[in-house]
Amino acid sequence: MVKTIPLKKNHEFMRVYKKGRFYVGKYITLYTLNNNIEKNRLGITVSKKVGKSVKRNRLRRLIKENYRLVEDKVKRGFDIVFVVRSSEDMPGFFEIKKEMKYLLKKLNIFEQEKLD
């Protein structure tokens, strides 16, 4: 993720939650806020309610990898926070990919899809 820097501080996450826009999917809630810099900042949160550390870290890695693959198609200048929702079934790689693209398009930060 060359063009993206991580969100680390609690106050950065809280700013995105309070002032940003969001859209809810089956597995993920996506929050975005314009940050007035030319780079995106990414945050991923997974609650302890989702499961034990193995499951939480697996979901975090799946989201990070899927974001890395679509990073070139995401518009610049946004703080992006993915919040994993607790569910009975564990989503797979392609389910996360499909939902991530859907949420990014809904919030209008996904550029026109280029031919793969």
Q: What's the angle, vertex CA 19, arms to CA 13 and CA 25, rounded to 5? A: 75
| CATH number of this structure's domain 22-106, picked from the four choices 3.90.1300.10, 3.30.230.10, 3.40.50.10260, 3.40.50.720 | 3.30.230.10
Cα-flanking dihedrals φ and ψ of residue 104, to 5°? -65, -40
Q: Which of 1-10, 65-74, 78-87 has the lowest mean pLDDT?
A: 1-10
What pLDDT score does 88 carry?
Answer: 82
C-alpha separations of 44 from 1, 7, 30, 112, 114 in Å: 14, 8, 10, 24, 26
Boundaries of every domain in the chain: 22-106
pLDDT tier at 2 (50, 70, 90 boundaries)? Answer: confident
- 53: helix, strand or coil: helix
What pLDDT score does 115 carry?
Answer: 46
- Tokens 């899927």 belong to which residue? 66
60-83: average pLDDT: 94
Cα-flanking dihedrals φ and ψ of residue 86, to 5°? -75, 135
